[in-house]
Structure 1
Amino acid sequence: MNRKKGMKQFWLLFALVGLLMLLAACSDDDTKKDVASENDSGGTKTDSTTTEPAKEDGLSGKLEIQYFVGGYGDEWWKRVIGDFKKEHPNLEIIEHAGPNINTEMNTRWISNSPPDVVYIDGAGSNETQMIAEGQLMDISDFVKDLKMDDGTPLLESFISPAEEIDGGKIYSLPLVFDTWGIWYDAKWFKDNNWTAPTDFDTWLSSMEQIKADTNIAPFITTGQHPQYFERGILNPAFAAAGGEEFLNDLRNGVVEAWQRPEVLEVMKKVQKMVDAKVVDPGFAAYNHTQSQMNFLLHKNAYIPVGFWLPNEMKNDTPSDLEFGFTPTPMNNPGEPLALVPDIRTIAVAEKAKNPEAAKAFLEFIFTEQYAQAFAESTGAIMNLKNVDLSANTNVPEFLTGINDMINNPSAVQLYKRNTPNAEEQKIAVEITNEIKLQLVEVLLGKKTAEQFVDTMTKKAQELRK
């Protein structure tokens, strides 16, 4: 009796164990099916032989961008780079920026390991040299297909056109429209019934009146950086007197250009300013910051500077000062004011590691949206036509007026300085250095207009031998 009972318990236990093993096998099989189903739906992959990973859309890899930070600051760059990153989250963007960035990145360029995008501005940058050394990519085919939001070709949308060299090749795009002109305090002028000049005669009269009313020397520039006078006064004066080709021939040391009567005509105007004692006698010792501070403090009334002045000096500008700007009034009465654009360009490196992303970035920034943002954050103008700043309350009033002026060809004539070839560049550097030396002498009253012309003509002859 007990033996039968033991056998029944044994077979009951055996059946129970078998049932548990069957349930475990079923459970394991269901788990495998669940994992396979998860892999099929794009979840975590556990078996490399089952499915291919999904491909990610958009740009990827690294994009290195080099940009100089000067008077315009870096707010605009941070914004556009941040927005570009949002559109391409799989792209790692590396910024190389700062006031000395061109020097800091020089070894990268020399070693043929440059960043992908470069904004060409600031000390140590030279587009002509970069092109001559094969450092910039020919982007002609790429940019000819780019269009603005309204369908207008990008190349037809620039205030100052993209430069084509070497038979129509384009190596950079003109991003920033800067120019040199004369700044004054519009409120101070209004309070004293002084009138902004429209030509050289009215400008000289204005300075003589201001001197009589205030006992200050109305005109200030920096003697430590004579290129401010060269670019802010001489270049527009030469353009107004003889035209664009004349302006470029002078810079390139063409002897016949320096012998033309227009050179002496312009320099006679400069000498009139010196003889009238409207030039600050201490200018030779001032750097650009000190001269700008003197202007802001009403120690002077006129100063030749680029568009960066208000932004660069915003922390030192008196609250009641209202910036006024006019193209340099060295033109004769009845003739149009002259502006010589000082364009800042952006380019793709020939050795770019991510050229696709670099080109996409260039296409991304040339829009009305970022032109408005540039005006807001820098107080300057992006090089795009017909950008209406009048409704943008974040744009300074003076800039709205400048923008309207530049886009009105009947009010101002633009004269372009062309990029010289490699050989001309060497001459242009020597000519510029000589001009700077001689200008200080003229403004100090140590040399006459005739002596300036004679010295520059001989220098051109020497360089053109």
Structure 2
Amino acid sequence: MPNTPRITRRELLRGAALVPVAGALAACATPAAKPSASASAAPAATSAANPFGVAETRPLEIWIFDGGFGTEYATKIHEPLFKQKYPKAEIKHNATKEITKVLQPRFAGGNPPDVIDNSGANAMDFGALAQDGQLQDLTPLLDAPSWDDPAVKVRDTIDQSVIDIGTYDGAFSVLGYVNYIYGVWYSQKAFRDNGWEVPKTWDAFLKLCDAIKKSGTMAPFTYAGKFPQYLYEPLLTTAAKIGGGEVLVHIDNLEDGAWTSEPMRTAAAAWAEVGAKYLMEGTAGLDHVQTQTAQNKYKVAMLPSGSWLENEQKTTTPADFEYGMFPIPDMGSSDKLPYGTLHTQPGENFIVPSKGGNPQGGMEYLRAMLSKKAAGDFSELVRTVSVVKGAGEGRALSPGAASASKAFADAGSNTVYYRWQSWYAQLKDEAVAATGELMTGGLTPEKYLERLQKKADEIKNDSSIKKFKR
């Protein structure tokens, strides 16, 4: 693994870019009605086999975020599948870690590409894109026949959360392709060798941290100190377990006092204690790659992350490391949500720009991606779980993917998610900075939550910022 920092999807925790909403598309036109497709994007005749009217000779320009999943899934799985059906179409493949820097000028100039994996810490702000009418309405994709079975619509092959979370201003316009499953990650081998048991209660978690600390074998806990969004994820999940999913809904909806609610106070105090007592030395100055690699070297036992972790660390993970993941432990018997509740939501977000030269081809490319074979091959290649129902059946899953998949199955309907960080980039920036201070003792839990509530109130009262609601 190179020593130079890498930017990956998880630096975003599936959220917005690190730029203000108002400035994300600063060079773009003032928000207006959705732009009409250019003449060059006029569709060909539609049919059951070609539901969007793809012109078979029109080129397709694709940009893939080069993060933890790499880009081979596009060049070896998705693009060949599209090319197999449209052999005369030239596919222009591109990859970058800097989505906003590279592609924002294209949007400003009115000539964006046709398909974008808009992910990573430097992703473009979805709220700003939606506000500026830059996103193709993908509802026709949902209603189109699936690639595998013309009798089944695409919408019936994917998790409903994909549609819910990908809808902006009433239009489904963002396709999350990966089912991100969040939790606390560890080495099953290390736990077995040391006789440590997965904790199901917060008291058991703290006792485990104490035991690991006293053993001297490794530090109990770490997180990507340079990217504190990795820590506010378990903090928010803890609050949702205590007070129910509505805790996160209230935060998303910018409701008065949402950040300073009692469940949030309890969760912030609990994680602040972890920061004060159990962190690996130097955590605050380390990025995600450094902390994860430290775990691979058995220098630390546990860290919070998502189901992309195993693939992202494949070059530094010992062969017998055996990744595992466990849900956030119960805080107490009064928790509104049971043990096993998970934060899970679609990520690795694909969009089709409305002003692209080939939006029909863009939607057809997404339809091919959502085939069971393409999704299954993807899951096997990058050791993760896609949003396509049943795509992992019969596949050989790696230890981490198997562990996360089991946790997801065990959770059933007890899942939570939040959207504020992809709706309001300024609030995400504030949460990142404030969470870092909370975990290093620079802010008390009370001051931490007051700071976030103040920022949420500012956004709520700013008429220039588009508001979204769950």
* Class of the TM-score when normalised by the shorter of the 2 chains: 0.7 to 0.9
Tell me the percent identity.
25
**1-structure distance, mates of 2:180, 2:168:** 25
- The residue that corresponds to 2:400 in the other structure is 398
Is the Cα–Cα contact under 8 Å of residues 197 and 206 in structure 1 kept in the other structure?
Answer: yes
Match in the other structure for 2:98: 100
Deviation at 1:364, TM superposition (A): 1.1
Partner of 2:213: 211
RCO comparison, higher one (Cα < 8 Å, 6+): 2
Structure 1 or 2: larger helix share? 1
Contact 1:239 1:338 survives alignment (8 Å):
no
Residue 272 of structure 2 corresponds to 271
In structure 2, the CA distance between the partners of 1:157 and 1:89, relative to structure 1 (3 Å rule), is closer
> 2:347 aligns to what SS in structure 1?
strand
1:280-429, aligned counterparts within 5 Å? 280-329=280-329, 331-332=331-332, 335-336=338-339, 337-389=341-393, 391-393=394-396, 395-410=397-412, 413-418=414-419, 425=423, 428-429=424-425
Distance 1:225 1:63 in 2: 35
Would you say the 8 A contact 2:327–2:342 is kept in 1?
yes
Query: Which of 452, 455, 459 does residue 456 from structure 1 map onto?
Result: 452
Partner letter of residue 244 of structure 1? G
Q: C-alpha displacement at 1:236, in angstroms? A: 1.5
Instruction: State the shift of 1:369 in Å.
Output: 0.8
- Give 3-state SS (helix, strand or coil) of 2:272's partner: helix
1:191 to 186, 193, 198: 193
Are the counterparts in 1 of residues 342 and 408 from structure 2 also a CA contact under 8 Å? no
The letter of the residue matching 1:181 is G
- Tell me the secondary structure at the aligned position of residue 376 of structure 2: helix
Instruction: State whether structure 2 residue 437 is matched by structure 1 residue 438.
Output: no
Larger Rg: 1
CA shift at 1:196, angstroms?
Answer: 1.3
Normalising to structure 2: TM-score of the pair? 0.78
Mark the CA change 1:385 to 1:197 in structure 2 (over 3 Å): closer, same or farther: farther
Larger deviation, residues 136-145 vs 149-158: 149-158
Contact 1:180 1:342 in 2 (8 A): no
Correspondence 1:154 to 2:157? no
Shift, 1:284, TM fit: 1.0
Separation in 2 of the partners of 1:85 and 1:222?
39
Q: Please list the CA deviations of residues 70-118 of structure 1 after superposition, one character each: whole Å capped at 9, or x if unmatched.
A: 0001111112202321221111111121222442222211101011112
For 1:81, the equivalent position in structure 2 comes to: 79
Taking the aligned partners of 1:460 and 1:351, their CA distance within structure 2 comes to 32
CA distance 1:331–1:109, shift in 2 (3 Å) = farther
- Counterpart contact for 2:146–2:371, Cα < 8 Å: no
* CA drift at 1:399: 0.9
Change (3 A) 1:205 1:386: farther
The answer (yes or no) to whether the contact 2:222–2:303 under 8 Å persists in 1 is: yes
Kindly report the root-mean-square deviation, in angstroms, between the aligned alpha carbons of the 2 structures: 2.5
Query: 2: distance between equivalents of 1:287 and 1:302?
Result: 15
Equivalent position of 1:128 in the other structure = 127
Q: Answer yes or no: is the 8 Å Cα contact 1:68–1:102 preserved in 2.
A: no
Structure 1 position 146, deviation (Å):
3.1
Other structure's SS at 1:60 match: coil
Q: Are 2:63 and 1:66 equivalent residues in the alignment?
A: yes
**In 1: Cα distance, 2:168 partner to 2:222 partner:** 41
Distance 1:444 1:137, change over 3 A: same
What do residues 271-292 of structure 1 show as CA deviations (whole Å, max 9, x unaligned)? 33245x1122411111221111
CA distance in 1, matches of 2:66, 2:421: 25
TM-score of the aligned structures, taking structure 1 as reference length:
0.79
The amino acid of 2:140's aligned partner reads D
Instruction: State the alpha-carbon separation in 1 of the partners of residues 355 and 453 from structure 2.
Output: 41
How far apart, CA to CA, are the structure 2 residues paired with 1:429 and 1:58? Answer: 37
CA distance in 2, matches of 1:121, 1:219: 27
Give the aligned partner of residue 23 of structure 1. Answer: none
3-state SS, counterpart of residue 452 of structure 1: helix
- Indicate the SS of the match to 2:74: helix
CA contact (8 A) 2:324 2:404 kept: no
SS at 2:402 equivalent: helix
- In structure 1, the residue corresponding to 2:301 is in which secondary structure? coil
1:251: Cα distance to partner?
Answer: 4.8
